[in-house]
Amino acid sequence: MAVLYNDTEKIFSLNTKNTTYQIKVDSYGYLLHLYYGKTVNTSMEYMLTYSDRSFSGNPYAAGNDRTYSLDVLPQEFPVQGTGDYRSVALIIREENGCCDFSLHYKGHSITDGKYSLKGLPAAYSEEKAQTLEIVLKDSRTGIEVTLLYGVIEDCDIITRSVKVKNSGSENIYIEKIASACLDFLYGNYDAITFYGRHAMERNINRTPVTHGIQSIGSKRGTSSHQYNPFVILAAEDATESAGECYGAAFVYSGNFLAGFERDQFDQIRFLMGLSDEMFSYRLGIGEEFYAPEVLLSYTDMGLNRLSQNFHYCIREHICRGQYKDQLRPVLINSWEACYFDFNGETLCQLAGQAAELGIELLVLDDGWFGERNDDNSSLGDWYANEKKLGMDLKSLSEKIHKKGLLFGIWIEPEMVSENSRLYRSHPEWALQIPGKKPVRGRNQLILDFSNPEVVQYMFDSISSVLCQCEINYVKWDMNRSISDVYSINAVYQGNVLYDYMLGVYSLLDRLTGAFPDILWEGCSGGGGRFDAGMMYYTPQIWCSDNTDAVDRIYIQYGTSFCYPLSVTGSHVSAVPNHQTGRVTDIDIRGCVAMTGAFGYELDLMALTQDEKTKIKQQIQNYHKLAPLLKKGHYYRLSNPFKDGLGVWEVIDSSKETVLLSIILLNVHGNMPVVYIKLQGLDSTKYYKNTENGKVYPGSGLMQYGFPVLAKPGSYPSFQILFERVL
C-alpha cells in the first residue's frame, strides 16, 4: 500500500517507489512532520527532541511541560496563533480582526486513486496511486482544514493541497495559504531557483539557505517571466549525478510565493503556495476554498534524477488529451515571417513553400481578426478580418489544407483593446479601478475573468471561430502583467485574482473539452506562464519569445530542471536573430530547437537553396528522433553558465538509443579536446556512432568520456546518435 496508518503510534507513512514521507498525530492532537526522504520501514519519531527553549511558547494543553513548543517542533501544517513564530502556512482573519486559531486532528481517510481539485488543475492517476485526507479543526471558530496528499508511486511524486471550510457562524478571510510545508530538523542546503525576464527566462540561481527568510514569487497575475514556480532544496554537495535534493512545483498559473527560512535553532522550513499580496479571500458560512496543488519529489541520486521524476510526472500525470502521447507536427509560425503584414494569398504562398520542405502545420499568428494591423486594436473581437485576408477563414483553411498542411491560429482571450467593438460595448468587463486611469500594457487591458459572464462570452466567441472551419492548432497567448485589480462584479475584491485564474482554467477546460482534436499551445509572451498548471490544459508551451539559438541554450537549460522536452515549444528562426541580432548557422539553430516541440519561425520565401536543403534534412532527422525526444530520459551534461558549452543527452528507457547534443559556446585558437561523460548507459554494452560507425564501450563513455574536436566557425554544434550493439 502507498499509504499506511499505524493506529497505535498514530503515524502515517506515504510510500512511493523510492521514498517515504511520515506524519504523526501527537498526544495533543497536533500534526507533526517526522520525515521525508529515502525509503524507511520504521518510525522516525525518535528524531524528535524536547527541551525548555527560552521565549518559545507552550500550548495551554501542555500544562506545566515547558519542553513542548510548536516554535521548535517540525510541523506538517503550521498556522497563525499556536506560538510558532516562524513563517506559517495559513493565516485566517475573523470579522473582528482576530487571526489566531489552532488546528487539531479530527479524522482521516485513505482511498485508492488520486484526488482531484474543484476548478483547479491537478495531477491525476488511477493506477498505483492513493489519496490521504487528514481533517483538522479549530473548535473555537469552526474552521475546518483538510490536508490532501496524493501518492504517485511510479515517479516518486507526493502531491499536496489544502481545502478550507468555513463551518463557523460568520465570514472568515484567508489572508495567507500555502499548499505545502516541509520542516527540516537540521542540514546545510542550497536553494535553487529560476529567475529571469521577458526573452531571457529561467536562469539558475543557487544560494545557501541562511538565517532569515529567502523567497521568490510573483504578484503579476501570472507565474511570470521573472520567477518560475519551481524550486529545489539541494544538499550543499549535491551534483547532477549524486546527492540529496527536494523539488517542488506549483500547479498554478497565477501569483505564488515560495520561501525558505532557517530559524534560531538551524532548522529549515520551506513553504509554497499562493502569494499573500493582493489576496484576502472571503469565505462565507459553509463555503470551501481549495488551494492549488504542489508536486513534491525527493531523490538522493542528484539533480538529473530529480528532473526525470518531474519530467515523467508532467508527461504522464499532468498533460492530457490526445496530444499527450501523440507526436506533434512540425510547424511554421507566421509571426517572424511577416508579423502583421500578410493577406490570404501570401499565407498560401508560405504554406506552399512549407509543404515543399516537409513542414506539416501553418500557424497564423497575431493580426487575423477584427481590424488588427498592429497591436493597438481589436483584442476581444474574435472574428476574421476578411478585408485584410481577402477571404473568409473557412476559405483560407481549405486552401492551406489543400497544400497538405494542417492549419492553426493565435488567440489572446484574456485581453481587450480599448479600440475594439467589445470594449465599446462592455467597458465594465475590463479590470479597472473606478475613478482611476488604468495602467496599460502593450496598449491593452485585461478582461475580468473572475466574472462568469465574461468567460461565457469568450467561450461562445472563440467556439464560433473554431466551428467555422477546420482548425488543428490554437496558440493561447497572454501578453501583459495584471494591474488595476478591481472587478465591479466581485462581492469582495480580495477574491478577484484567484477567481480570475479559476475563470481562465474554466475557459481552457471547456474549450479543450469541446475541441479535443485541436493541439493547444500555451504562451505568455513566451515563457511568462510556463508552469504545470497551464500544462494540464496545453500539452506544449512556447518556451520563450527569444528564438536566438545561443540564448535558448541557457533558457532551455533552466527549463529542463522541471519541465520535459515534450512541453517545450522551440523553433528555428531567421538570422540575424530578431531579438539579439546574433548570426548562427542553421545547424546550431536546428540542434537547439530539436530539444523541444520542433518548428520554424522565419520567412521561408527568403531562404537560400542550401538552407532549404538543410531544413528538409532537419525535418527528416526530427521525425526519426521525435519518439526518443518525447519519452527519453534527459541528462544535463554541462552547465552553460559555467562551462562554456551546452551539452545534453537523451536516452530511451531500454538504454538502446542515445542522442548527444553539443554546442561549443567559447571557441579559441588551437582548442584543446573536450571530453564529454555520458550518463545512464548500459556499462556492459558497446555503443556505435551511427554517423561514422565507430564503436565505444558504454563504461568508457560514462567513466572517461567522448572526445570532441572543435571545428571552425562560431558556436560549432554536434548532434551524435549512438545505438547499442552487443
All domains in the chain, ordered by first residue: 3-318 (2.70.98.60), 640-725 (2.60.40.1180)
Mean pLDDT of 644-654: 97
Give the pLDDT score at 586. Answer: 96
d(CA 249, CA 159) in angstroms, rounded, equals: 9
What confidence tier does 128 reach under pLDDT thresholds 50, 70, 90? Answer: confident
pLDDT in tens, 107-121: 999 999 999 999 999
Q: Is 531 among the catalytic positions?
A: yes
Q: How confident is the model at residue 718 (pLDDT cuts 50, 70, 90)?
A: very high
Residue 104 has pLDDT above 90, yes or no: yes
Instruction: Please pick, among 316, 336, 587, 611, the residue that the annotation labels catalytic.
Output: 611
Mean pLDDT to the nearest integer, 25-47: 98
* Helix ranges restricted to H, 314-470: 335-338, 344-357, 386-389, 393-402, 421-425, 452-468
> What pLDDT does residue 356 have?
98
Q: Which residues contact 240 (CB under 8 A, 6 or more apart)?
A: 302, 303, 304, 635, 636, 637
CA dihedral 529, 472, 456, 378 (to 10 degrees): 70
Average pLDDT of the residues in 362-368: 98
Mean pLDDT of 322-341: 95
**Cα–Cα distance between 318 and 316 in angstroms, integer?**
6
Is the per-residue pLDDT at 127 higher than 90? no
pLDDT digits (tens, 9 = 90+) for 625-643: 999 999 999 999 999 999 9
**Counts of helices then strands in the chain (DSSP H, E):** 14, 38
The tens digit of pLDDT for each residue in 334-351 reads 999 999 999 999 999 999
pLDDT over 90 at 512, yes or no: yes
* CB 537 within 8 Å of CB 508: yes
Predicted pLDDT of residue 171: 98
* Distance from chain centroid for Cα 666: 31
Provide the percentage of residues in the chain whose pLDDT is more than 70. 100
Concerning whether 9 is annotated as a catalytic residue, the answer is no
Q: Return the SS3 of 54.
A: coil
Which of helix, strand or coil describes residue 361? strand
Q: What is the pLDDT of residue 377?
A: 97
Query: Above 90 in pLDDT, residue 82?
Result: yes
Identified catalytic residue from 190, 316, 531, 551: 531
